[in-house]
């Protein structure tokens, strides 16, 4: 993959001052956002930069640091010093001199000019591979930026101070194709050739909502098998089922079961494509396509310059006339309309069940799921999702239990969607990583199981305008068979060559996989594929590699 930051020498400084975007700061200044512990008088620091000294610094709660500042201020009472308790996301040495600027009633911006460390003041252009091996994380603070001439594309020579524990205080010269604000913090991943990859900075509010959604959906989710097993029993035309369930519930249950693929269907390309489309993670995208189609058909009606009253009629009737043929095609088509999949079927079942239950019982039923204790850190990259079975369920015909199972499976689909969203990112050099994470329920006779799927597409930026971008694919499968136990498969396609890894937890299963690797190679080669390494391993594979570990930073630039 191409990098956002390369490591050439910094060009010589020009005799004229360099415009860094922050002329009031020195080249080595660090910018820190401070939170006030208690409010200060209005206008005390307004419209002026105050000098301050850190007189106390100690660790606090939630990873913050408690600082006590001695601030020199000048107001109607003359020049005096006050003490301000603040919270900082990073420690500041006692005795440090800082410049303060009030940003809002609760926040200050601190500009710190730290002394250079005694042993590491030299500037480097390459990272030590012993201290920064491939895939290692590097954090650095931008201290200088200069525009440079690199041909047709703009470039920037950047100097950053490493704050990672491997080489704290070390100055590093970088080259970037995008500007970087002086004082900003960068978090990068070391590539195989020593290059650095930095993702586009995400919206903090969006990332906060994403993490909250991941945490809540993981706590509420449950496997598909209990719901599908119960739905299959209720779909049978028995006297008990007919008496216990209303016709709308029967219809909604049968609709859900129609989206479940069989093992025979998954043995064909068209069957796999249909199962992926019905998984539920593409429902919103399908509804958007349907809305656009309806909108385009509605806007295709004729318009003229008649009177306002006549125009009002002609703006409604042609829209309806244009929609009728489209709706007719959707009704008569053998393919389901966009947005019609397992998630939409589950939503319809959920609404139908809610209509059949007393209003006061819904909150109690949904709280009866007994959410498990989620892992302390929930972040994008969790694959496969852990197994969870709801407890304290009633009889097969109990509508409350059916509603709980339906809501739990919807949460599981939603968690896959949020995982896909959290792992999809683009980079400043034009490269991108797209992830689709989903789950395929499978029917084998009267039994149900599921296969978890993670598809990753990495596209490098084209080095030349007319050159096609290089694309790499990775597909992960995770499933469990009664006799063979948990299995995971990783297949990669890069530059026309395919490679694969098989991971089995049981030793007997591992031996069976090893025996079939030669046959698999023959099958792949018979399809015209160039086959790379095929391997088998015991245990579980490493987590999917994240190009950049997401980090949420509260700082003022």
| Residue 130 belongs to domain with CATH number | 2.40.50
Domain end position, chosen among 52, 77, 112: 112
* Phi, psi values for residue 274, rounded to 5°: -65, -40
Range of the domain at 53: 30-112
**How sure is the predictor about 333, in pLDDT bands with cuts at 50, 70 and 90?**
low
- Residue 329 has what pLDDT? 55
For the segment 92-117, the average pLDDT, to the nearest whole number, is 72
Please indicate, yes or no, if residue 92 is contained in any of the structural domains: yes
Question: Helix H segments across 246-391?
Answer: 247-258, 269-277, 283-298, 308-314, 317-332, 342-356, 362-367
DSSP 196-247: EE-BPPPPHHHHHHHHHHHHHHHHH---SHHHHHHHHHHTS--HHHHHHS-H
Residues 178 and 142 reside in one and the same domain: yes
- Per-residue pLDDT of 370-414, as tens digits, reads 444 444 456 778 899 988 877 767 676 788 889 999 999 999 999
Residues 167 and 105 reside in one and the same domain: no
- Per-residue pLDDT of 2-17, as tens digits, reads 445 555 444 444 433 3
Q: Does the pLDDT of residue 491 top 80, yes or no?
A: yes
**How many Å apart are CA 138 and CA 551, to the nearest integer?**
12
- Residue 149 has what pLDDT? 66
- Residue 163 has what pLDDT? 82
Give the least confident one: 117-126, 139-148, 423-432: 117-126
- Per-residue pLDDT of 29-79, as tens digits, reads 567 888 888 766 545 665 566 778 888 888 887 778 888 988 877 666 666
* Element (DSSP H or E) covering residue 420: helix 399-423
Burial of 462 (0-12, 13-18, 19+ CB in 10 A): middle
- Residue 24 has what pLDDT? 40
* Higher per-residue pLDDT: 430 or 275: 275
- Residue 3 has what pLDDT? 47
* Higher per-residue pLDDT: 40 or 448: 448
Give the least confident one: 117-121, 331-335, 485-489, 508-512: 117-121
Residues 134 and 194 reside in one and the same domain: yes
- Residue 534 has what pLDDT? 96
For the segment 469-487, the average pLDDT, to the nearest whole number, is 90
- Per-residue pLDDT of 269-311, as tens digits, reads 999 999 999 999 999 888 888 877 777 765 555 545 444 444 4
Residues 106 and 123 reside in one and the same domain: no
Give the least confident one: 164-178, 206-220, 512-526: 164-178
Residues 74 and 138 reside in one and the same domain: no
CA 405 vs. chain centroid, Å, equals: 26
* Beta strands 497-504; 530-538: pairing state: parallel
**How many Å apart are CA 73 and CA 82, to the nearest integer?**
7
Please indicate, yes or no, if residue 183 is contained in any of the structural domains: yes
- Residue 523 has what pLDDT? 93
Please indicate, yes or no, if residue 135 is contained in any of the structural domains: yes
- Per-residue pLDDT of 337-367, as tens digits, reads 777 899 999 999 999 998 888 876 766 666 6
Give the least confident one: 140-149, 319-328, 532-541: 319-328
**How many Å apart are CA 268 and CA 479, to the nearest integer?**
18
Domain end position, chosen among 171, 198, 225: 198
Domains: count for the chain = 2
- Residue 429 has what pLDDT? 63
Give the least confident one: 371-375, 404-408, 429-433, 442-446: 371-375
Burial of 266 (0-12, 13-18, 19+ CB in 10 A): middle
Please indicate, yes or no, if residue 545 is contained in any of the structural domains: no
**How sure is the predictor about 159, in pLDDT bands with cuts at 50, 70 and 90?**
confident
* Higher per-residue pLDDT: 200 or 170: 170
- Residue 323 has what pLDDT? 52
**How many Å apart are CA 416 and CA 380, to the nearest integer?**
10
- Which contacts qualify for 266-272: CB closer than 8 Å, 24 or more apart? 266/440, 266/442
- Residue 475 has what pLDDT? 96
**How sure is the predictor about 117, in pLDDT bands with cuts at 50, 70 and 90?**
very low
- Distances in Å between the alpha carbon of 375 and those of 148, 296, 372, 515? 47, 46, 9, 37
Percentage of residues in the chain with pLDDT exceeding 70? 69
Please indicate, yes or no, if residue 98 is contained in any of the structural domains: yes
Please indicate, yes or no, if residue 136 is contained in any of the structural domains: yes
Please indicate, yes or no, if residue 544 is contained in any of the structural domains: no
Domain end position, chosen among 152, 176, 198: 198
- Residue 43 has what pLDDT? 55
Give the least confident one: 43-52, 258-267, 314-323: 314-323
Q: Does the pLDDT of residue 245 top 50, yes or no?
A: yes
Residues 166 and 127 reside in one and the same domain: yes
User: Whole-number mean pLDDT of the chain?
Assistant: 77
- Residue 485 has what pLDDT? 92
**How sure is the predictor about 98, in pLDDT bands with cuts at 50, 70 and 90?**
confident
* Higher per-residue pLDDT: 548 or 113: 113
Residues 72 and 102 reside in one and the same domain: yes
Please indicate, yes or no, if residue 253 is contained in any of the structural domains: no
* Beta strands 123-124; 171-176: pairing state: parallel
Q: Does the pLDDT of residue 312 top 50, yes or no?
A: no
For the segment 246-266, the average pLDDT, to the nearest whole number, is 94
Residues 107 and 128 reside in one and the same domain: no
Residues 126 and 101 reside in one and the same domain: no
- Residue 374 has what pLDDT? 45
- What tokens does 373 get? 């204790």
3-state secondary structure of 522: helix
* Beta strands 153-162; 171-176: pairing state: antiparallel
Residues 90 and 161 reside in one and the same domain: no
Cβ proximity of 252 and 348 under 8 Å:
yes
Cβ proximity of 506 and 484 under 8 Å:
yes
**How many Å apart are CA 412 and CA 262, to the nearest integer?**
21
Give the least confident one: 143-147, 451-455, 495-499: 143-147
- Distances in Å between the alpha carbon of 370 and those of 234, 268, 513? 25, 40, 39
- Residue 518 has what pLDDT? 95
Cβ proximity of 462 and 454 under 8 Å:
no
Residues 78 and 131 reside in one and the same domain: no
């Amino acid at each position: 993959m191409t990098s956002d930051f390369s490591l050439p020498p910094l060009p010589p400084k020009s005799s004229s001052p360099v415009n860094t975007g922050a002329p009031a700061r020195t080249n080595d200044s660090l910018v820190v956002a401070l939170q006030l512990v208690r409010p200060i008088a209005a206008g005390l620091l307004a419209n002026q930069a105050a000098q301050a000294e850190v007189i106390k610094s100690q660790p606090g709660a939630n990873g913050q640091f408690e600082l006590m500042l001695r601030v020199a201020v000048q107001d109607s009472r003359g020049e005096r010093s006050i003490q301000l308790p603040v919270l900082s996301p990073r420690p500041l040495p006692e005795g440090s001199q800082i410049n303060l600027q009030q940003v809002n009633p609760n926040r200050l911006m601190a500009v710190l000019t730290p002394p250079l460390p005694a042993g590491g003041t030299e500037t480097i252009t390459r990272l030590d591979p012993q201290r920064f091996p491939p895939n290692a994380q590097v954090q650095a603070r931008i201290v200088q930026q200069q525009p440079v001439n690199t041909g047709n594309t703009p470039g920037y020579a950047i100097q950053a101070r490493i704050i990672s524990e491997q080489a704290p205080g070390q100055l590093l010269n970088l080259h970037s194709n995008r500007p970087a604000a002086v004082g900003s913090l960068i978090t990068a991943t070391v590539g195989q050739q020593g290059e650095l990859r930095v993702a586009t900075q995400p919206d903090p509010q969006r990332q906060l909502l994403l993490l909250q959604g991941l945490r809540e959906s993981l706590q509420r989710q449950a496997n598909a098998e209990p719901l599908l097993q119960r739905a299959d029993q209720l779909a049978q035309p028995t006297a008990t089922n007919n008496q216990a369930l209303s016709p709308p519930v029967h219809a909604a249950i049968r609709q859900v079961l129609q989206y479940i693929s069989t093992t025979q269907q998954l043995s064909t390309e068209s069957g796999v494509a249909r199962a992926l489309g019905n998984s539920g993670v593409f429902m919103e995208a399908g509804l958007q396509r349907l809305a656009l189609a309806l909108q385009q058909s509605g806007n295709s009606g004729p318009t003229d310059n008649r009177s306002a009253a006549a125009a009002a009629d002609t703006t409604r009737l042609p829209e309806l006339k244009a929609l009728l043929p489209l709706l007719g095609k959707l009704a008569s088509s053998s393919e389901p309309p966009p947005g019609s999949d397992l998630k939409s079927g589950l939503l319809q079942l959920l609404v139908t069940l809610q209509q059949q239950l007393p209003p006061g019982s819904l909150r109690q039923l949904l709280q009866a799921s007994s959410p498990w204790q989620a892992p302390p850190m929930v972040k994008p990259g969790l694959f496969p999702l852990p197994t969870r079975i709801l407890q304290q369920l009633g009889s097969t015909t109990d509508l409350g239990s059916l509603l709980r199972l339906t809501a739990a499976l919807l949460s599981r689909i939603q968690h896959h969607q949020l995982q896909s969203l959290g792992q999809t990112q683009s980079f400043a050099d034009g490269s991108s990583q797209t992830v689709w994470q989903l789950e395929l329920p499978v029917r084998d006779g009267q039994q149900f199981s599921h296969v978890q799927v993670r598809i990753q597409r990495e596209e490098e930026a084209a080095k030349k305008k007319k050159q096609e971008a290089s694309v790499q694919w990775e597909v992960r499968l995770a499933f469990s068979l009664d006799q063979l136990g948990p299995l995971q498969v990783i297949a990669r396609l890069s530059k026309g060559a395919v490679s694969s890894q098989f991971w089995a937890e049981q030793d007997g299963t591992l031996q069976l996989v090893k025996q079939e690797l030669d046959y698999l190679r023959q099958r792949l080669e018979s399809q015209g594929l160039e086959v790379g390494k095929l391997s088998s391993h015991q245990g579980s594979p490493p987590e999917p590699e994240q190009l950049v570990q997401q980090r949420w930073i509260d700082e003022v630039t």
